[in-house]
């Protein structure tokens, strides 16, 4: 009987250890990492108008024909 | 007594076997290595919006002083550097240069703020102004055979309008470097009786999105 009692104690201890081991392993199981679907979104840039304009200038100086002859 | 010593030994052996089994099947003893070796994929998203922008690299055409020759009805000069006709202005090579600074192709229209007759003064029938365009950087204007105004190699002079009628300088001006610049030249016909003085006209280029 003594032998049987001792074995039972160790078996119980073994089971306890196994359960503890399983819990321990479970707690250290790899955690889900951020994956596709987790994203960094910079947001929309403001749209810079759909029309854009630029203005230039053309200049000339009209001299009198006499002045032009002198300058020429 | 012998049985008492055997019992603990069996239990310990079973425990070791159980732990090794758990470790081998779950990787429990290799968790750190598994963690460092694993990889994951994240996605960074940036939305690039339409940016429509044009810029006049050269925004002035300056012809300087001159006059129409006596006895001529009008004089003709242009900004391409060509010889003048019946007038005393010096040949001028000084075009407008327009650049597509955005990130889409654009249509570009051109208008003058003042009609030639009003601008120069004198006999309206003798006054006129035209424009012409060409690539300032090769491949800038993307040709479109469906549009009669689009031909980057065409030296045809077209009447410069003062209204908002569609007068393209280029229907599809490319946006990417180094092919995003057009050259726009002007040709003027000045009446012989145009009053003396400084003459300035504003030329506006308007860009719109080109699909």
Do the domain assignments include residue B42? no
ipTM of the complex: 0.74
Q: Do A55 and B89 lie within an 8 Å CB cutoff?
A: no
Q: How far apart are CA B167 and CA B151, in angstroms?
A: 13
Of residues B89, B96, B192, nearest to A60 (C-beta): B89
Determine, yes or no, domain membership for B178. Answer: yes
Domain membership of residue B184 as a residue range: 54-209
Handedness of CA B5, B7, B13, B15 (dihedral sign): negative
Spatial CB neighbours of B13, under 8 Å, sequence gap ≥ 6: none
- Same-domain check for residues B115 and B192: yes
Q: Per residue of chain B (211 residues), what is the pLDDT tens digit?
A: 445 566 666 666 666 766 666 655 555 555 455 555 667 777 777 777 778 889 999 999 999 999 999 999 999 999 999 999 999 999 999 999 999 998 898 888 899 999 999 999 999 999 999 998 888 988 888 865 444 444 455 567 888 888 766 677 787 889 998 999 999 999 999 999 999 999 999 999 998 888 7
Q: Is residue B16 domain-shared with residue B81, that is, in the same domain?
A: no
Residue B98 lies in a domain: yes
Q: Which whole-number Å values give the CA distances from B89 to A32, B36, B62, in the listed order?
A: 79, 79, 11
Q: Is residue B49 part of a domain?
A: no
Closest CA to B206 of B94, B112, B116: B112
Residue B104 counted as domain residue: yes
- Inter-CA distances, B24 with A13, A21, B20, B35, Å: 22, 13, 6, 16
Residue B43 covered by a domain: no
Helix (H, G, I), strand (E, B) or coil at B50: coil
Strands (E) located in chain A:
39-44, 51-62
Token pair of B211 as six digits: 């699909």
Q: Is residue B45 part of a domain?
A: no
Contact B45 A39 (CB under 8 A): yes
Domains in chain B, number: 2
Closest by Cβ to A64, choosing from B4, B196, B206: B196
Assign residue B172 the CATH number of its domain.
2.60.40
Find residues 10-29 of chain A whose CB sits inside 8 Å of chain B: 10-11, 13-14, 17-18, 21-22, 24-25, 28-29
Q: What end-to-end distance do the CA atoms of chain A give, in Å?
A: 136
Q: Which chain A residue has its CA at the smallest distance from B56's CA? A: A54
Measured between CB atoms, which of A11, A41, A52 is closest to B45? Answer: A41
Q: Cα–Cα distance between B9 and B36 in angstroms, integer? A: 37
- Residues of chain A neighbouring B68 (CB-CB closer than 8 A): 65
3-state SS class at B58: strand
Q: How far is CA A37 from CA B46, B48, B117, B152, in A?
A: 14, 20, 65, 47
Q: Is residue B20 located within the same domain as residue B62?
A: no
Record the pTM: 0.65
Chain A residue closest in CA terms to B95: A58
B120 to B81, B101, B202, B205: CA distances (angstroms):
21, 33, 13, 21
Q: What angle in degrees, to the nearest 10, is found between the helix axes of B2-26 and A2-27?
A: 20
Q: Which residues pair with B167 in a beta bridge?
A: none
Q: Tell me: do B59 and B157 sit in the same domain.
A: yes
Domain shared by B148 and B99, yes or no: yes
- State how far residue A1 is from chain B, nearest Cα, in angstroms: 11
């Amino acid at each position: 009987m003594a032998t049987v009692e001792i074995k039972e104690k160790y078996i119980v201890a073994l089971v306890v250890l196994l359960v503890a081991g399983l819990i321990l392993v479970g707690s250290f199981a790899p955690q889900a990492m951020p994956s596709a679907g987790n994203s960094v979104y910079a947001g929309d840039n403001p749209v810079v108008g759909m029309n854009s304009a630029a203005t230039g200038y053309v200049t000339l100086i009209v001299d009198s024909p006499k002045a032009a002859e002198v300058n020429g | 007594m012998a049985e008492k010593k055997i019992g603990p030994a069996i239990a310990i052996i079973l425990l070791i076997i159980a732990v090794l089994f758990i470790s081998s099947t779950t990787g429990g003893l290799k968790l750190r290595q598994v963690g460092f070796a694993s990889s994951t994929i994240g996605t960074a998203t940036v939305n690039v919006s339409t940016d429509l922008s044009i810029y006049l690299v050269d925004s002035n055409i300056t012809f300087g002083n001159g006059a129409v020759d006596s006895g001529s009805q009008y004089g003709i000069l242009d900004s391409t550097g060509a010889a003048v006709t019946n007038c005393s202005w010096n040949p001028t090579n000084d075009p407008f240069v327009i650049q597509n600074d955005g990130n889409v192709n654009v249509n570009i229209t051109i208008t003058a703020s003042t009609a030639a007759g009003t601008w120069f003064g004198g006999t309206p029938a003798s006054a006129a102004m035209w424009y012409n365009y060409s690539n300032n950087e090769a491949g800038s204007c993307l040709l479109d055979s469906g549009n009669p105004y689009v031909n980057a190699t065409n030296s045809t002079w077209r009447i410069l309008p003062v209204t908002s009628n569609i007068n393209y300088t280029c229907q599809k001006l490319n946006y990417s470097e180094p092919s995003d610049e057009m050259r726009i030249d002007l040709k003027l016909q000045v009446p012989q009786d145009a009053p003396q003085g400084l003459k300035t006209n504003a030329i506006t280029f308007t860009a719109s999105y080109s699909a």
